[in-house]
Amino acid sequence: MWQENNTWLHYVKSIIAADVSSAIFLASYLRYCNTNKNYASSLEIIDLQKYKVIKQHTKVLIALRERVNIPFVFIVGKN
């Protein structure tokens, strides 16, 4: 029933993958996501089209995803 190439393995940091290269990719992607979440807490979004400043963490994450390519939307660091 179980063949060696179809077995899922449990790697460090609760990563479950079929092979080592997939586990490495998932670990690096997980690190990337966590870095972005932590980095977004130190950012603000200034939207000149809607005349508002977005300061809440969850709304900043949404704005980074949706409004990055819209003109007159600026990403600034909190000081």
For residues 27 and 52, membership in a common domain is answered with: no
pLDDT at position 33: 79
Residues of the chain with pLDDT under 70: 1-13, 18, 79
Contacts of 62 by beta carbon, 8 Å cutoff, 6+ apart = none
Q: First-to-last CA distance in the chain?
A: 59
Same domain, 61 and 35: no
Whether residues 28 and 47 fall in one domain: no
Q: Are residues 29 and 51 in the same domain?
A: no
Q: Using one digit for the tens of pLDDT, what is the confidence trace for 1-22?
A: 344 555 556 666 677 776 777 7
pLDDT of res. 12: 65
For residue 16, give the DSSP letter.
E
Both 46 and 26 in one domain: the answer is: no
6 and 29 together in one domain: yes
**Same domain flag for 36 and 59:** no
Distances 43 to 3, 52, 55 between C-alpha atoms, Å: 48, 14, 7
Is residue 27 a contact partner of residue 19, using CB atoms and an 8 Å limit? Answer: no
Q: Find the domain containing 2 and state its range.
A: 1-40
